[in-house]
Amino acid sequence: MVYFDSASSAPLHPVARQALTASLDEGWADPARLYREGRRARLLLDAAREAAAEAVGCRADELVFTSSGTRAVHSGVAGALAGRRRTGRHLVVSAVEHSSVLHAAETHRAGGGTVGEVGVDRTGRVDPEAYRAALRPDTALACLQSANHEVGTEQPVAEVARLCTEAGVPLLVDAAQSLAWGRVAGDWSLLAASAHKWGGPPGVGLLAVRKGVRFAPQGPADERESGRSPGFENIPAIVAAAAALRAVQQEAADEAERLRSLVDRIRGRVPELVPDVEVVGDPVRRLPHLVTFSCLYVDGETLLHELDRAGFSVNSGSSCTSSTLTPSHVLRAMGVLSEGNVRVSLPPGTAEEDVERFLAVLPDAVRGVRERLGAPADAPSEAAAGAAAAAADGGAGNTAQRGEQPALTVDSLGKRCPVPVIELARVIGDVGIGEIVEVLSDDEAARLDFPAWCEMRDQEYVGERPAPRGTAYLVRRRT
């Protein structure tokens, strides 16, 4: 098996394993106690904090350890909002933030606060000027990830931080995906990260709060971690996390160059090897180890299973999975194809031959999924034409007239991604140039996938309109 999902969780770094084992014998005591065992534990904790603070680029007394990256985000958002309650209750986030940030925003909204969302372009990048426009006199906090967890696009944190500083608004940066590759640039105010993303043990997060930022910890507190992260510190895991972060940052320059070359190979070769593929994310301003692409006419969950059987562990932001019936909020915000989505994130040490083997097995895996779903070939087959005729005969509200009225209606209600798009592809050749096909669908992914299909197939997406059930999507045949 080859593990290509380090964006979810990186394998434990050898340095982390050594530090964890060594500190188990010295870091078990209570670091708040004055006796010898407590003092030894405190020395380990203080050394880990110094190392982590250096890697982050903050003072040691500005950094606390939490039980996870999610806890760091939630604590950071809640504490910063509470600390600036007199300013207002307006929170600004980007549309592609990690779910931990968006969940914190929903909690804030449910408690009476307001949330402004900044959109992104098709690469997943925010416009700094859009952030400037979103800031209001009552804005208490802004949040922006350093790099996206699904498509790898790096955000203009330094520029947004400058604009936030000019407006007197603190900026919280979710640096979970990028911290392994180096410090986050810019004059940010708060930063959160998670150890298992950089090869540390799970169950350790960190939260940095710059001096001068008004911050009021929420919930029951105690004397540990400056009152910002209550509970007994897991010192062996913290020591291992700090050791791993220092190690991966020292290795980052050479490893980033090597992995970027491998990712460039995947980005270039996949569209050549697999028809109807959209590579998403910024092609230049991106993390070095991550690439995401979407395959037309493919069920994402089935494709992941096929790749798993072929020996590759990858992830997906596709809506076509058993865990969700809605498209990834990141892909939705970008307005890109969501079906058949595959995220490949290479861990440090990935071998070139493993990438070549992945590229060798991917085309057959995609082809097999498409065949099982009955997806049309590049040239419609007789079987596809027969299926199209049957769909035309059975369609509701068909009309032969031209104009904005559909020449053909396809009922895809109750069918999930990618079936509605497949059914459209089967029948588009049965109407004349300039005529419209109407597809009825109640699948959330359809709102993304029909426009993306039209762009990939050089057809015209006319739009959508409400239907008695679901939504009617209108496509005009151009070719």
pLDDT at 398: 33
Statement: residue 351 has pLDDT above 90? yes
pLDDT at 229: 86
Q: Residue 383 has which token pair?
A: 């079987």
pLDDT at 326: 66
Q: From the CB of residue 2, how many other CB atoms can be counted at a distance below 10 Å?
A: 18
- The Cα 284–Cα 266 span in angstroms is 14
Phi/psi at 379 (5° precision): -110, 125
- The Cα 264–Cα 260 span in angstroms is 6
- Find out whether 181 and 198 touch, Cβ atoms under 8 Å: no
| CA angle in degrees (0–180, nearest 5) for 191-345-246 | 45
Query: 387 versus 81: which is more confidently predicted?
Result: 81
Q: What is the pTM of this model?
A: 0.88
- Give residue 383's pLDDT band: very low, low, confident or very high (50, 70, 90): very low
DSSP state of 374: T
DSSP state of 174: E
Coil, helix or strand at residue 147: strand
Phi/psi at 356 (5° precision): -65, -40
What lies within 8 Å, CB to CB, of 145 at 6+ separation is: 94, 96, 97, 98, 101, 155, 173, 174, 175, 176, 177
pLDDT at 472: 94
Rg of the chain over all Cα atoms, to the nearest angstrom: 25
> Could you tell me where the DSSP H helices lie in 395-445?
419-427
Q: For residue 326, which of 141, 119, 99 has the smallest C-alpha distance?
A: 99
DSSP 281-314: S-SSSB-TTEEEEEETT--HHHHHHHHHHTTEE-
- The Cα 189–Cα 143 span in angstroms is 10
Looking up tokens 């050898």, which residue turns up? 14
Sign of the torsion angle spanned by Cα atoms 30, 33, 38, 43: positive
In order of start, what are the domains of the chain with their CATH numbers? 10-248 (3.40.640.10), 251-373 (3.90.1150.10), 382-476 (3.30.110.40)
CA torsion angle for 296, 302, 306, 309 (degrees, to 10)? 160
Statement: residue 429 has pLDDT above 80? yes
* Average pLDDT of the segment spanning 79-98: 97
- The Cα 245–Cα 56 span in angstroms is 9
- Find out whether 439 and 468 touch, Cβ atoms under 8 Å: no
- Find out whether 150 and 134 touch, Cβ atoms under 8 Å: no
Q: 438-466, pLDDT tens digit by residue?
A: 999 998 888 888 998 998 889 999 999 99
What lies within 8 Å, CB to CB, of 302 at 6+ separation is: 320, 369, 372
What are the catalytic residues?
A: 320
Q: Residue 230 has which token pair?
A: 């209550």
Statement: residue 322 has pLDDT above 70? no
H or E element, residue 90: strand 90-94
Q: Which amino acid is at 323?
A: S
Q: What is the mean pLDDT of the chain?
A: 91
- Find out whether 116 and 245 touch, Cβ atoms under 8 Å: no
Q: For residue 419, which of 455, 453, 374, 467 has the smallest C-alpha distance?
A: 374
What lies within 8 Å, CB to CB, of 381 at 6+ separation is: none
- Give residue 49's pLDDT band: very low, low, confident or very high (50, 70, 90): very high
Q: From the CB of residue 204, how many other CB atoms can be counted at a distance below 10 Å?
A: 30
Q: Residue 85 has which token pair?
A: 């309650």
Q: Which residues lie across from 312 on neighbouring strands?
A: 2
DSSP state of 315: B
Statement: residue 230 has pLDDT above 90? no
- Find out whether 410 and 387 touch, Cβ atoms under 8 Å: no
* Average pLDDT of the segment spanning 358-368: 97
